[in-house]
Structure 1
Amino acid sequence: MTHSPLKSLNRRGFIAGAAAVIGAPALAQNVGTIEMEREITQSQRRNISSFRSLTWQPYFKSLRNGAVLVDIDSRALHFWSADGRTYKLYPSSIPLSEDLTRRGRTSVTRKVAGPSWSPTANMLRRNPDWPKYVPPGPDNPLGTHALYLGWKYYRIHGTHDTRKIGRKSSSGCIGLYNRHIAELFSLTRVGTQVLLI
């Protein structure tokens, strides 16, 4: 049986190439990692670096009833308990655009486990195919828990669509992973102060 010179060359080339990769120094193997890191955009770097713990004092006069700070720019929600012993930091989703974003001070006015959802008239105008009512459950856009705020139609709630977290994806609300909203739900009370910046 004769061997094709081309097949032998390809086989030899493959073996030589594999040996070169296996024997390459660690520094050379890190070149690909360095190149990938260079591809991270500046905005992604800002989002990564700005997701950090904060102290409550620049934002609140006291921790009476606990405090929630939502930082729209870093897409993060911070919580401090009334006694100052508990601090939580959660990644969040934020409104799709600046005109849907509300900033300022409010408070938790109602807490609902297993919320239902009805889109506003403006939402239905933008998305006429949306249902007019969604009961509690896995198809509900509010996830498993919702904290209703003093501003009409604005909530901090969960989501079953985990792709939304860390993105501009809501019509005004702040979204959390369901496991995080469940924890925040247990830590907050009606009257917890809320600040969106």
Structure 2
Amino acid sequence: MSDKDITRDTNRGSGPDISRRAFTRVAFTVAVASATTVIGGRGFASTEEEALANDFVPDSQDTPMLLRRISSLKMRKWEDYFDSLNNDAILCDTNDRVLHYWGADGFYRVYPTSVPLSEEMTRRGRTSVTLKRPDPDWRPTASMLKRNPALPPYVEPGPDNPLGIRALNLSWPAYRIHGTNDIRKIGRQSSSGCIGLFNEHILEVYGRAAVGTPVLLI
């Protein structure tokens, strides 16, 4: 056997050269996949390829409660809900607690969301984006004040604003897709009707959506 053959055999036996960072990422992905299997195939996802490591937010540093915030990993086809993607398309699934975003350029993401507190507050059907608000302020509706008179009458943009850092107004009055500064709400029945996302996710959705983008809530 030549020196070249020995070198070839040695390299073959050593396997692929995986960096520590890549190995850690693979190990974490496997761990997340195992956890998802344990809880019945449900968890957080933003792409078809991997579970979102950055989207898991424990209730506290000591006692993470994944089961209290669950969003479905199920992928969907835009053709089942929309006629075209000429102006992109957004599907909000209040049962799975996720938002699907399809772009005309082939972009597709699934984001975990908050959903309305009750069936009475849940609205379903077709609507569209009517206004993009880069630094939203917030005023509670009359029904919100009736349920909770202690709510402030106005909240300016900033870390205390319940709409987070971006908001997309829909054609239905007082209904929005928006961010949130209270990350505990994501994956839960926790809103008064709106669909809430992590701030980093609403940035992406906001950046792609346009006035007129069709939205379907199911």
> Alpha-carbon deviation of 1:52?
2.0
Instruction: Please show how residues 4-15 of structure 1 align to structure 2 within 5 Å.
Output: none
- What is the one-letter code of the residue matched to 1:70? C
> Alpha-carbon deviation of 1:55?
1.1
> Alpha-carbon deviation of 1:64?
2.1
Q: Percent identity?
A: 59
Match of 1:62 among 75, 84, 89: 84
Match of 1:77 among 99, 106, 130: 99
* CA distance in 1: counterparts of 2:165 and 2:72, whole angstroms: 28
Match of 2:115 among 94, 109, 114: 94
Q: Is the 8 A contact 1:146 1:185 kept in 2?
A: yes
> Alpha-carbon deviation of 1:58?
0.5
Match of 1:136 among 157, 164, 168: 157
- Please tell me whether residue 122 in structure 1 is matched to residue 177 in structure 2: no
> Alpha-carbon deviation of 1:88?
1.1
Counterpart of 1:73 in 2: which secondary structure? coil
- What is the one-letter code of the residue matched to 2:134? A
Query: Mind listing any 5+ residue stretches in structure 1 that lack a counterpart?
Result: 1-36
Counterpart of 1:147 in 2: which secondary structure? strand
Task: Render the CA deviation track for 1:73-130: whole Å, top value 9, x for unaligned.
Answer: 10000001123x1011100000000000000000000000110000001100100000
Q: Is the 8 A contact 1:75 1:94 kept in 2?
A: yes
Counterpart of 2:79 in 1: which secondary structure? coil
Corresponding residue for 1:158?
Answer: 179
TM normalised by structure 2 equals 0.68
- In terms of fraction of residues, the more helix-rich structure is 1
What is the total number of aligned residue pairs between the two structures? Answer: 155
> Alpha-carbon deviation of 1:46?
6.7
Query: Mind listing any 5+ residue stretches in structure 2 that lack a counterpart?
Result: 1-34, 44-70
- Please tell me whether residue 45 in structure 1 is matched to residue 40 in structure 2: yes
* CA distance in 2: counterparts of 1:119 and 1:46, whole angstroms: 36
- What is the one-letter code of the residue matched to 1:157? H
Match of 1:176 among 178, 193, 197: 197
* CA distance in 1: counterparts of 2:198 and 2:72, whole angstroms: 19
- In terms of fraction of residues, the more strand-rich structure is 1
Counterpart of 1:183 in 2: which secondary structure? helix
Q: Is the 8 A contact 1:71 1:77 kept in 2?
A: yes
Change (3 A) 1:46 1:102: farther
> Alpha-carbon deviation of 1:139?
0.3
Change (3 A) 1:46 1:124: farther
> Alpha-carbon deviation of 1:47?
4.5
Once the two structures are overlaid, the 10-residue window that deviates more, 54-63 or 90-99, is 54-63
- What is the one-letter code of the residue matched to 1:75? R
Corresponding residue for 1:190?
Answer: 211
